């Protein structure tokens, strides 16, 4: 091994007092080590401390000393930057944030339909205190490019931003980038170096924001700063999120911006928080919190709360008697000062939560969540913080939510439920809705593993995607494939399926095949099925690969040929719109392997292959499942082959079919309109929340083994010695911060109650005793206490869901939906648990939650 002296890059931020040069000479660095890892942990000759050094240029091993010396000289040129380069690199995130607080001019790009793309020049600036991006129109309309603007201002919440894209990576920028579709002169100042886009969370229901900066440096400042803030906000613990929530409440209540709350402001705050208290009780809590008697010179003569006192006042308001009782029970005789020791916490976790932790872990929990100076044991407040803010106390285990069970990913593809989207390109209804690459990006980021590409002939030989025979807008097939390549494996490493609905001519089918191969490269799985294969490969085997689901030519075909089968995916459309004869390109056919789309030939077909898959419309699926005989046949079919279920053609509003029924029959791909905010998408998110959110959930054994007697109709016919009944006890203890209807801040204080339902197999869903509800709590959305228990007898728990739905009781109108929570029975943790409420779009309504107690008991 030849060891030589070598210059490597040392970040200027590391020990700047000692290592003033960006390039620092090191001693005896093994060139092979640097070539393999591009970094080494070595002693710095300037400050004698360990640093991480990264090589600037690649080094091939072995390397003669003479060549290394020459390389050193070249590296000196690379790592000794010009003054302006060093200045640009040294600009910190803080400096960029400070610049953006002042604000910069940006152009907003919008598609105005027949008027085309328009630009609006506005000033944008960061509000770090409220975590907002404000904007206001430019005051001089003559300086706008393309339209006039009106006075006023508005903002975007940083918490709603999930991604920042630089360059041309949205539908609008793709139009500008396509010289045949955009006015080049009009947009000549817009380049990929100055363009960027803010992408909002799907649940925010906001379109992307396309912006253009005056120069690349300004663009990069916005992109880097917002990326930094998005990552920071995502990393916040629940407790930090709650502290931010408290600060927001304080600022809202401080109507005169004094930095203090007087009693009237505190009273208004309570009304805004859905609390109705007697004035005397409220005054008592206010006075107990007002310990410092601050600002005695004010007209209230010290009868105000500062921010710290406000937090105390807030916690007194939300005191949780049910948690106090748990604390008292487990801290009794454990500590003479009435505190909960780590040993007592260990007992609580083992007996109630069914968690087996070590005493060292309990000590660490106390240390992290105790708010007092003495962190050797829990006070009531510390224990409350632990139950409220620790991820482990949620109904869904954080391990299930974040970790893929690798041992469960080795079964054939047909043994999984697969998260799937219908008409993925649509962001609205099925007739006039907009088609967008964001439909694909949003679905993939939510863990979807099967997306639909509805392909038709486009202009200039370029295939397009849209909902045929409708007024939906059109996007390029090429843009969709490029977007999917970028986001295919961002959320999940496991295979992505392109469900291609092919309506193209042979020439454009060839173009589709060329684009798939050239854009996807090694990501596209093109392996041939071997003669000795008897079942589908596993998700683990196909990890990081994209599969094409489409029709395929017979093995004997030597060129393009006709497909004389009806298109199953058109079986619920008007007969006049069905394609009777479809020519299939050999180039495209050759890309199809394990998911070969065929017309459904019936269940008793001896020629069926394991890689043959059929699509079933909603009405056909219902007909099959409603008949006990065909329902059992369907289950057996789904143990070996893949079925795809999609919404009926009558659902032109993009509503969804009832998703649980086909799941109970083992159907793998149940395609939903992801853009629709409804219960079915809510249940779909619950199904795929576990297993790391990877989009694949292993079906229970009776849906994988055709020899096991089971029916998706009632009765299920399961052998109870192998598949026991579950007795599920659910106690609804209390709620916290239940919002008003539609999330408004004003109005009457609500009277919340909770509906509790079991969804799943007909044996369970049709059981009247599996639908319960609590009494309504009058005038309290802040911390309503129900303390009502229910017992559910679940006959097929493997396919069952527990659903909570919080409503506002009304004497004169329809009860309003306030928030929901759903979880698979299999994923529920026992003990005292917290369930954060969401709306049907999937938007978390934090800190709105339910506090419940769960117990499971099995009966053979």
What residues act catalytically?
422, 467
3 state SS of 626: helix
847 preceded by cis ω (within 30°)? yes
Quote the radius of gyration of the chain (alpha carbons, Å): 31
* Element housing 42 (H / E): strand 39-43
Tell the residue number behind the tokens 């009693």, with chain if given. 263
Is residue 437 within 8 Å of 483, Cβ to Cβ? yes
The DSSP annotation for 57-79 comes to S--PSS--HHHHHHHHHHHHHHH
Question: Measured between alpha carbons, how far is 672 from 654 in angstroms, rounded to an integer?
Answer: 9
The DSSP bridge partners found for residue 262 are: 304
Q: Which two tokens stand for residue 411?
A: 């079964």
DSSP state of 708: S
The DSSP bridge partners found for residue 251 are: none
Determine how many CB atoms are found less than 10 A away from the CB of residue 17.
7
Question: Measured between alpha carbons, how far is 299 from 256 in angstroms, rounded to an integer?
Answer: 13
Q: What are phi and psi of 152, to 5 degrees?
A: 130, 180
Question: Measured between alpha carbons, how far is 860 from 858 in angstroms, rounded to an integer?
Answer: 7
399: Cα separation from own chain's centroid: 16
Going through 399-483 in order, the beta strands assigned E by DSSP cover 416-418, 450-456, 464-465, 475-476
Alpha carbon separation from 32 to 9, 29, 60, 177, 318 (Å, rounded): 17, 9, 7, 43, 61
Question: Measured between alpha carbons, how far is 54 from 68 in angstroms, rounded to an integer?
Answer: 16
Determine how many CB atoms are found less than 10 A away from the CB of residue 294.
17
DSSP state of 700: P
Helices and strands counted in the chain (H then E)? 24, 34
Q: Which two tokens stand for residue 678?
A: 């409804």
Question: Measured between alpha carbons, how far is 786 from 775 in angstroms, rounded to an integer?
Answer: 7
3 state SS of 473: coil
Question: Measured between alpha carbons, how far is 402 from 693 in angstroms, rounded to an integer?
Answer: 7
**Strands 496-502 and 450-456, sheet pairing:** parallel
715 preceded by cis ω (within 30°)? yes
3 state SS of 338: coil
Is residue 594 within 8 Å of 413, Cβ to Cβ? yes
Provide long-range contacts, Cβ within 8 A and 24+ apart, for 324-331: 324/380, 326/352, 326/383, 326/832, 327/378, 327/380, 327/383, 327/384, 331/378
3 state SS of 428: coil
DSSP state of 507: H
Is residue 55 within 8 Å of 30, Cβ to Cβ? no
The DSSP annotation for 105-151 comes to EEEEEEE-GGG-EEEEEEEEEEETTTTEEEEEE-S-GGGSSSS---S
**What angle do the packed helices 238-253 and 380-389 form, to 10 degrees?**
100
Going through 669-814 in order, the beta strands assigned E by DSSP cover 669-670, 696-698, 725-736, 752-759, 771-773, 785-794, 801-808
């Amino acid at each position: 091994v030849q060891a030589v002296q070598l210059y490597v890059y040392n970040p200027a931020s590391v020990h700047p007092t000692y290592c003033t040069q960006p390039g620092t000479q090191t001693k005896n660095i093994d060139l092979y080590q640097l070539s393999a890892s591009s970094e080494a942990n070595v002693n710095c000759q300037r400050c004698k401390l360990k640093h991480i050094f990264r090589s600037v240029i690649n080094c091939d091993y072995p390397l003669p000393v003479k060549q290394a010396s020459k390389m050193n000289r070249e590296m000196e040129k690379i790592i000794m930057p010009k003054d302006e380069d060093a200045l640009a690199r040294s600009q910190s995130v803080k400096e960029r944030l400070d610049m953006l607080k002042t604000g910069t001019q940006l152009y907003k790009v919008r598609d105005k339909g027949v008027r085309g793309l328009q630009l609006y020049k506005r000033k944008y600036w960061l509000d770090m205190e409220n975590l907002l991006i404000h904007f206001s129109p430019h005051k001089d309309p003559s300086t706008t490019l393309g339209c006039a603007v009106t006075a006023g201002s508005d903002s975007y919440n940083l918490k709603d931003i999930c991604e920042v894209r630089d360059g041309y990576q949205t539908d609008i920028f793709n139009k500008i980038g396509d010289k045949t579709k955009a006015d080049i002169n009009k947009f000549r100042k817009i380049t990929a170096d100055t363009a960027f886009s803010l992408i909002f969370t799907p649940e925010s229901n906001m379109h992307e924001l396309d912006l253009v900066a005056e120069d690349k440096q300004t663009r990069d400042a916005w992109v880097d700063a917002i990326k930094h803030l998005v990552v920071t906000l995502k990393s916040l613990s629940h407790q930090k999120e709650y502290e931010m929530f408290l600060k927001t409440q304080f600022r809202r209540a401080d109507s005169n911006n004094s930095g203090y709350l007087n009693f009237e402001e505190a009273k208004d705050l309570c009304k805004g928080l859905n609390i109705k208290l007697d004035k005397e009780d409220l005054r008592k809590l206010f006075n107990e919190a007002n310990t410092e008697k601050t600002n005695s010179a004010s007209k209230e003569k010290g009868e105000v709360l500062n921010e710290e006192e406000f937090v105390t006042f807030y916690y007194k308001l939300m005191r949780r008697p049910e948690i106090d009782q748990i604390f008292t029970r487990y801290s009794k005789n454990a500590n003479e000062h009435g505190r909960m020791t780590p040993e007592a916490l260990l007992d609580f976790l083992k007996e109630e939560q069914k968690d087996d932790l070590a005493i060292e872990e309990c000590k660490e929990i106390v240390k992290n969540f105790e708010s007092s100076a003495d962190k050797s044991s829990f006070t009531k407040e510390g224990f409350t913080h632990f139950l409220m803010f620790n991820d482990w106390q949620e109904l869904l285990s954080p391990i299930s939510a974040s970790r893929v069970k690798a041992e469960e990913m080795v079964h054939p593809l047909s043994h999984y439920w697969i998260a799937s989207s219908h008409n993925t390109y649509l962001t609205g209804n099925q007739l006039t809705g907009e088609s967008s690459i964001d439909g694909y990006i949003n679905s993939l980021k939510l863990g979807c593993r099967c997306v639909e590409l509805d392909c038709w002939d486009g202009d200039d030989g370029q295939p397009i995607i849209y909902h045929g025979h409708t007024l939906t807008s059109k996007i390029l097939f090429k843009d969709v494939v490029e977007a999917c390549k970028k986001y295919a494996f961002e959320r999940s490493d496991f295979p992505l399926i392109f469900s291609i609905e092919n309506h193209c001519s042979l020439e454009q089918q060839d173009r589709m095949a060329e684009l798939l191969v050239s854009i996807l490269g090694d990501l596209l799985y093109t392996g041939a099925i071997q003669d000795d294969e008897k079942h589908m490969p596993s998700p683990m085997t196909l990890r990081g690969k994209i599969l094409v689901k489409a029709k395929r030519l017979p093995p004997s075909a030597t060129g393009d040929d006709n497909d004389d089968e009806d298109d199953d995916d058109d079986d619920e459309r008007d007969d006049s719109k069905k394609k009777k004869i479809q020519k299939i390109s050999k180039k495209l056919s050759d890309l199809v392997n394990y998911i070969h789309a065929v017309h459904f030939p019936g269940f008793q077909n001896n020629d069926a292959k394991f890689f043959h898959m059929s699509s079933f419309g909603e009405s056909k699926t219902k007909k099959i499942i409603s008949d006990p005989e065909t329902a059992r046949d369907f289950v057996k079919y789904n143990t070996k082959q893949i079925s795809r279920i999609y919404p009926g053609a009558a659902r032109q509003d993009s509503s969804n079919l009832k998703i649980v029924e086909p799941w109970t029959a083992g159907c793998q791909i149940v395609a939903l309109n992801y853009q629709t905010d409804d219960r079915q998408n809510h249940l779909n998110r619950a199904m795929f929340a576990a297993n790391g959110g990877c989009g694949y959930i292993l079906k229970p054994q009776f849906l994988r083994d055709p020899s096991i007697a089971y029916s998706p109709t009632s009765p299920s016919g399961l052998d109870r010695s192998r598949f026991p009944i579950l007795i599920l006890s659910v106690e609804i203890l209390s709620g916290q911060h239940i919002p008003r209807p539609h999330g408004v801040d004003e109005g009457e204080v609500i009277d919340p109650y909770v509906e509790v339902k079991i969804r799943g197999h007909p044996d369970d869903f049709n059981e009247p005793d599996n639908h319960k509800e609590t009494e309504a709590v009058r005038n309290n959305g802040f911390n309503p206490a129900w303390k009502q228990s229910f017992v559910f007898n679940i006959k097929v728990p493997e396919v069952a869901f527990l659903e909570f739905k919080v409503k506002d009781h009304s004497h004169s109108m329809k009860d309003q939906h306030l928030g929901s929570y759903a979880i698979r029975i299999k994923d529920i943790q026992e003990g005292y648990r917290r369930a954060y409420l969401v709306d049907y779009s999937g938007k978390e309504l934090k800190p709105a939650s339910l506090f419940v107690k769960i117990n499971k008991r099995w009966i053979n």
